Amino acid sequence: MKELLLEVLGWLGYLERPAVVVQLLVSVGLMLLCRVARRRRWLGRWPTLAYAPLGLIALGLTCGLLGQLNHPYGLAGLLALLWLGWFGLALLHRLLGRWLRPERLHQLESRLLRPAYLLMATLLLISQVDSLRDLAVAPLGSLFGVSLSAGKLFQAGLIVYVVLVGCGPPAAGLAWLVQRAVGMSEGSRKAMELMLRYTVVALGLVAVGVHLGLNTTALIAVAGGLSVGLGFGIKEVFSNFVSGLWLLFEGSVRPGEVLMLDGDPCEVRKLGLRATLLWRDRDNAELLIPNQTFFTEAATTYTASDRMRRSQVSVGAAYHHDPTDVIALLEATARQVPRVLPEPAPKALLLSYGDYEINYALRFWIANPMDNVGICSEVNQAIWHAFKANNIEIPFPQQVEYPMVWPPEQHTPSTYHR
């Protein structure tokens, strides 16, 4: 570790050279000037992407001028190339935006393209001030009796990152092929995709251990350390992880299903290692629920075997209307709402006799539980217009006031007033 720190401190001597300082000031100054010009739109209606080429041209001319003056310009030229590559990423963003959805494009850029480019740029800049080979063999110490170097640790970290980021598309593609061949449901396909991702990640971690040269004794020691950690600090994390695996095998909670949470329908978006991601439609909120919650609390699902759900609205009608006519009108009104399923047919019921109204319930079936609130609103509006067109009265609470005579013995029915 000491040798690596000495190598890094040696870079300061390179950065203190006047020739390097001049190149850095010129390059960074042109980049900042280009950024300010783009924000304030000094070129008027010119497109935003036009500012970067102008800055690159200016930086290229500056490098040529430094060359004519026999001044070193290698660092400035490298910064110009890196700036050009970053400009290329902006063009690639617009090109990929024609075929990929915004969320997919954001994941591709934030997890793969930009990190890969920044890693390459960092290695190129380090190569200007030091030798990558000498830096790679710098010792960092030992782990379970295995010596570690900077290069070996860098490769192990790179493998882990690539496995974590890159296992998604292959797993999704293989699960899609199996779905086409076997004919499994969409929820089973997503569950299989997650299991494949977990398997690839586990194999990647084993490959990292083999790359580092860890032996069986070291792995047993790591497992022992984890078991101790489970007893003290990460018991809940491990419990949620095992619960997630069990949910995948059991199939009780799968991506795409709709669960009732605190009276609101929520769609399962992602079943992760620690928690399940749910989406609530009414406020577009994403909820993270620990996996073990589904084993300790009751959960209602509307899509375990079928996405159809029976919904209900309640309404009251005055006593002077014939209940047979009201029930027939309610059922006919529900059949006219577009998003109410015709089969099973809507059913209206007389529930009870209230203080000032007869209470009815209209039950109907919908195709998607996530649309329940919106469809209930459409049905209630249709009932309002149907009652108005057929002169069906929806009564409201009424109170009768009368004077109280004291003492009560002197109170007679003739003193009541309505």
Per residue in 199-254, pLDDT tens? 888 787 777 777 777 666 666 666 666 666 555 556 676 677 777 777 766 666 77
Is there a single domain that holds both residue 20 and residue 117?
yes
Domain that holds residue 56: 16-126
**Between β-strands 258-261 and 146-149, what pairing exists: parallel, antiparallel or unpaired?**
unpaired
Is 246 inside any structural domain?
yes
Phi, psi of 146 (to 5 degrees): -110, 125
Is the pLDDT assigned to residue 391 strictly greater than 80? yes
Strand, coil or helix: 13? helix
Same-domain check for residues 122 and 26: yes
Say if residue 251 is in the same domain as residue 328.
no
In a domain, 118, yes or no: yes
Of the CA atoms within 13 Å of residue 349, those in its CB half-sphere come to 9
pLDDT score recorded for residue 175:
82
Residues 26 and 101 both lie in one domain: yes
Backbone angles phi, psi at 250, to 5 degrees: -75, -35
Lowest model confidence (mean pLDDT) among 92-96, 138-142, 331-335: 138-142
Q: What is the pLDDT of residue 279?
A: 84
152 assigned to some structural domain: no
Last residue of a domain, one of 301, 327, 346: 301
CA-to-CA dists, residue 389 to 318, 322, 356, 392, angstroms: 15, 16, 22, 8
Give the pLDDT mean for 59-81. Answer: 74
Which residues, including other chains, have CB under 8 Å from residue 7's CB and lie 6 or more apart? 130, 134, 135, 138
The CA–CA distances, whole Å, from 175 to 162, 163, 244, 306, 337 equal 20, 17, 19, 22, 38
pLDDT of res. 346: 93
Q: What is the mean pLDDT of residues 268-297?
A: 80
Which contacts qualify for 404-410: CB closer than 8 Å, 24 or more apart?
none
Cα–Cα distance list, 138 to 23, 131, 148, 189, 376 (Å)? 29, 11, 9, 46, 68
Q: In this predicted structure, what is the pLDDT of residue 349?
A: 94
Q: Dmax over Cα atoms in the chain, in whole Å? A: 121
Tokens coding 97? 């935006």
Model confidence at 416, in pLDDT bands (50, 70, 90)? very low
Q: Please tell me whether residues 329 and 277 are part of one structural domain.
A: no
Would you state the pLDDT for residue 418? 40
Q: Are 96 and 113 in contact (CB under 8 A)?
A: no
Cα angle: 71, vertex 76, 82; to 5 degrees: 160
Kindly state the tokens that stand for 219. 């792995």
Q: How far apart are CA 289 and CA 296, in angstroms?
A: 12
230 class by beta-carbon count within 10 Å (0-12 exposed, 13-18 middle, 19+ buried): middle
**Does one domain contain both 372 and 335?**
yes
Residue 208 has which token pair?
A: 């990292």
Q: Among residues 104, 126, 148, which one ends one of the domains?
A: 126
Chain mean pLDDT for the chain: 78
Are residues 20 and 105 both part of a single domain? yes
Name the pLDDT band for 410 (thresholds 50, 70, 90): low
> Which secondary-structure segment (H or E) carries 312?
strand 309-317
Q: Is residue 145 part of a domain?
A: no
The counts of H helices and E strands in the chain are: 15, 10
Please report whether residue 194 resides in a domain: no
Mean pLDDT score, 148-155: 80
Q: Where residue 127 falls among pLDDT bands split at 50, 70, 90? A: confident
Do 295 and 336 fall within a single domain? no
Decide if pLDDT at 415 tops 50. no
Residue 417 binned pLDDT confidence (cut-offs 50, 70, 90): very low
Residue 211 located in a structural domain: no
| 49 located within any domain | yes
Number of folded domains in the chain? 3
Looking at the structure, tell me whether residues 271 and 365 fall in a common domain: no
Give the model's pLDDT for residue 278.
Answer: 87
- Provide CB contacts within 8 A for 256, sequence distance 6+: 186, 187, 190, 267, 268, 303
Contacts 24+ apart (CB under 8 A), 336-341: 336/382, 337/364, 337/375, 337/378, 337/379, 337/382, 338/378, 339/366, 339/367, 339/371, 339/374, 339/375, 339/378, 340/364, 340/365, 340/366, 340/375, 340/379, 341/308, 341/365, 341/366, 341/367
State the pLDDT confidence band at 97, using cuts at 50, 70 and 90: confident
- Region 41-67 average pLDDT: 67
Domain boundary among 103, 126, 149: 126
Q: Judge contact between 108 and 96, C-beta under 8 A.
A: yes
The model's pLDDT over 7-24, given as tens digits with 9 standing for 90+, comes to 666 667 667 777 778 777
Whether residue 369 contacts residue 309, with contact meaning beta carbons closer than 8 Å, is answered with yes
Q: What is the pLDDT of residue 250?
A: 67
161 phi, psi to nearest 5 deg: -65, -45
pLDDT of 304: 53
Report for 50-59, 170-179, 180-189, 343-352: range of highest mean pLDDT = 343-352
Q: Do 292 and 361 belong together in one domain?
A: no
Q: Nearest 5°: phi and psi at 351?
A: -90, -50
User: Residue 316: its pLDDT value, please?
Assistant: 92
Distance CA 252, CA 122 (A): 46
CA angle, 109 then 114 then 118, to 5°? 175
- Based on the fold, state whether residues 370 and 321 are members of the same structural domain: yes
pLDDT top residue among 260 and 248? 260
Q: Which two tokens mark 186? A: 């969409």
Give how far Cα 8 sits from Cα of 14, 121, 394, Å: 11, 17, 81
User: Domain with 362 in it: what CATH number?
Assistant: 3.30.70.100
Q: What is the pLDDT of residue 353?
A: 92
Which residues are CB-contacts of 277 (< 8 A; sequence separation ≥ 6)?
268, 269, 270, 271, 286, 287, 288
Q: What is the pLDDT of residue 132?
A: 77
Residue 288 lies in a domain: yes
How do 358-366 and 309-317 pair as beta strands? antiparallel
Q: For residue range 326-378, what is the model confidence (pLDDT) as tens digits? A: 999 999 999 999 999 998 899 999 999 988 899 999 999 998 887 888 899 99
CATH number for the domain harbouring residue 278 = 2.30.30.60
Q: Are 345 and 337 in contact (CB under 8 A)?
A: no
Q: Are residue 288 and residue 338 in the same domain, yes or no?
A: no
